[in-house]
Structure 1
Amino acid sequence: MYRNSRTSISSQQGNVYIIAIFVIVVMGMLALNLTRISWSNQDTLTREVLGTQAALLAQSGNEWALTHLFPLDEADDFDALEARCSSLGTSATEAANALVSNSGIACAKPSISCSIPDVDESLPEDLKYIQISTRAICNDGNVFEVEREETVWVRGIRNE
């Protein structure tokens, strides 16, 4: 093993610089892509948390409306439900304020509505129903805003 006299050590130093620059560029691109993936995961998690908060707030609004429509020891026929549905307005606003203030989350006040779809009057009471719908919007204060709406259909209990 003899050293080649034609290639000196000083003439081979340029190759090391090229390899070093190549490694630095590749590592920089990997770091940049990992940062992008990390931000994407954080965005997805933020949307998922806000969506869950909005869905649970909407569900809470529907549960409150159901307790308003079906109070203990009251009549549960369709006419009584219809009367309670029409009186839901002001108490729904108070309930929505209470839901948001007691939840500790940054969501807008949910809108709770109760409606009776237009149906034929000759329809039997067993087939008439009331629609309760709650819409909740949650945001993170910066970029994301998530909206969830839940709807429940209820009908009166026939007294025998």
Structure 2
Amino acid sequence: MYRNQSSSISSQRGNVYIIAIFVIVVMGMLALNLTRISWSNQDTLTREVLGSQASLLAQSGNEWALTHLFPLDEADDFNSLTARCNSLGTSATAAANALVANSDIPCSSPTISCDASPENIPDDLKYLKVTTRATCNESNVFEVEREETVWVRGIKDE
């Protein structure tokens, strides 16, 4: 009443193959998911860096526009500001090109615009709206756009 040991071992050999294949498949799925997570993290980081670059470029454009609107030793009343706002066009393009040319960020030249408030607003509430829009892209795969707006009022003469 002894069992035949050789037939028992050979019958279990098929189970080891099934377990080995199962472990290989599970490990492959795990490696695939870890690769996807890593790629997703890199994608998120790239978008975050491009967004920060675009935001800082837009902020730089607004700062340049403010130095154009408020030059030293010039009048700061609303009429003078409006005149400078209307003349912002060509110098803004040159400044925007210089902002991008002096850096090695993958961004196109930002657009800087200045708009006056509507005419039907009372004089003490009139304002100028300076807007800069910057777009950064990495190899035409990711494109991030940021827009910064600054509201400007003239200084009253007392």
TM-based fold match above 0.5: yes
Instruction: Report deviation, 1:12.
Output: 1.2
Counterpart in the other structure of 2:102: 102
Higher alpha-carbon deviation: 29-38 or 9-18: 9-18
Instruction: Report deviation, 1:117.
Output: 2.2
Overall identity of the aligned pairs, in %: 76
Residues 1:10 and 2:10 are matched in the alignment:
yes
Residues 1:153 and 2:151 are matched in the alignment:
yes
Counterpart in the other structure of 2:118: 118
- Flag structure 2 segments of 5+ consecutive residues without an equivalent: none
Name the SS of the counterpart of 1:151 in structure 2: strand
Instruction: Report deviation, 1:118.
Output: 1.2
Counterpart in the other structure of 1:129: 127
Instruction: Tell me how large the CA RMSD over aligned residues is.
Output: 1.5
Counterpart in the other structure of 1:139: 137
Instruction: Report deviation, 1:8.
Output: 2.2
User: How many Å separate the matches in 1 of 2:73 and 2:10?
Assistant: 98
User: How many Å separate the matches in 2 of 1:8 and 1:148?
Assistant: 71
Name the SS of the counterpart of 1:137 in structure 2: strand
1:81 partner amino acid? L
State TM-score, norm by structure 1.
0.93
- Flag structure 1 segments of 5+ consecutive residues without an equivalent: none
State TM-score, norm by structure 2.
0.94
User: How many Å separate the matches in 1 of 2:140 and 2:77?
Assistant: 47
